[in-house]
Structure formats: C-alpha cells, structure tokens
Amino acid sequence: MVKLSKISIIIPCLNSGAFIDQLLPRALSLSNAVILVDGGSTDGSQEAATVLGATVIEAARGRGQQLAAGAAVASNEWFLFLHSDTKLPASAGDVIQKFTESSENLRKAGYFALQFDEQSRSARVISGMANWRSRVFGLPYGDQALLISRAFYEEIGGYKSIPLMEDVDIVRRIGRRNLCALDAAVITSATKYRRDGWMRRPLRNLFYLTLYFLGIRPEKIAKLYE
C-alpha cells in the first residue's frame, strides 16, 4: 500500500489498550506520521503504540487539548483526526488521497460515515441516525474522523481546550458548506453503547448537545457528563 506522505494522523488516547492493536496497523499502513496523544493512560497504551511504530506524546487529559497538542507537533500538510476506538476502512487510502489532491478542498474538511463493529438492528439504527444528522445538519461527531488541511485548520483556530463538545465546536467553525462526506465509513467500537444502552447514550448526548446550543459552557456540561 502506498503511504500518504502528506498526511499526519492524530489520535487522542486514554486507556485505549484494548483497541490499539486493531486501530494502529491500518493507520500506520497509510502514514509514517501517526501521532498518539496520551492523556495519562495506565493500561500500557503508550507502550503498545510505541512498539507498533507510532509517535507517542503526552498532553493534559481532555480530548480537545490532546487533539490540539497532536496538531501542534504534526509536520504534514494535512491532518486526519481519529478516535482511538475507531478503525479506518480498507479504502481509506484511496478516499483520503482523492480528497487531498483536489485544490477545491484546501478550505474544506472531510468526514467519514459511521458504522459500528456489530451488525445488530440497534447499531444500524443509531449509525443511520448519526449519518443523517451529519448530512442534514452538518454535525459529524469526532468518532467519524476529520480530514482537514493544516492551513484551514490553523485559519479557523484549531481545536479548543474545552472539556467537552470539541468536535461540535470545530465543525461549527468549519461551516456546514465546507464539510464534505467522504465515500467510506469508519468502524467504531460499540462498547460504550452496549454499556450505556443503545438508546440511552444517544439521548444523553442529545441532551448535552441541546445544552451546548442553548449557550451553557462546556465546563458546566462536562460536570453533568461526569
């Protein structure tokens, strides 16, 4: 597989050892610049990622801060932000290359469709709702990954150091018209949904999103979330 030399893949991590072996090989097959930003793992995530060949750095805990820290040390023209429990599809290389080679996309951002690592009816319904939300409202979440040029990322101010809603915050600044659905789906772990409930977790997330749009500060929402 041809490496994507102008892509830096940035992955925030916190005790993600259960997913490292599944996630990193695909990412490393696409780019030599895979940066895992650890927020204080105690389960061997850093060691596992280092053995596989990723660059590991540490940052203050919090996905927004970790993503910003990864972007700050990345050296390539394009960034792909990827959650630690999300696996890129086999077609990711072709899809990413096609997007990044078009000059029209220098001030746009791409996101993948969402798919879970199980095929239950609940999984299909929730992923379908997420993909509908992304298309209609321009609100892809972080577990759908985000592909954006360094120049555009810096122009909009990058990820903010907020404890929650960092993904919603950045796509709102990108703007709905500048968001592009990529022709592939990432595969995200359903572990959190099985633990919290297939309907309960999305409803809880919708509640927090509503609070955010009502102007409640992310710091206050984070206290409720915890």
Query: What would the pLDDT profile of 206-220 be if each residue is shown by its tens digit?
Result: 999 999 999 999 999
Q: Please list the residues that pair with 87 across neighbouring strands.
A: 187
Q: Where are the domains of the chain?
A: 7-115+137-187
| CB-based burial label for 151 (10 Å; 0-12, 13-18, 19+) | exposed
- Written as six digits, the tokens of 198 are 């297939």
pLDDT of residue 226: 75
For residue 151, name the pLDDT band (cuts at 50, 70, 90).
very high
Helix locations, 45-91, DSSP H: 45-52, 63-73
CATH fourth-level superfamily of 7-115+137-187 = Spore Coat Polysaccharide Biosynthesis Protein SpsA; Chain A (3.90.550.10)
CB 33 within 8 A of CB 74: yes
pLDDT of residue 87: 96
Could you give the percent of the chain with pLDDT greater than 90? 93
Distance CA 78, CA 150 (A): 5
Q: How many residues does the chain have?
A: 226
For residue 1, name the pLDDT band (cuts at 50, 70, 90).
low
- Written as six digits, the tokens of 110 are 């791409």
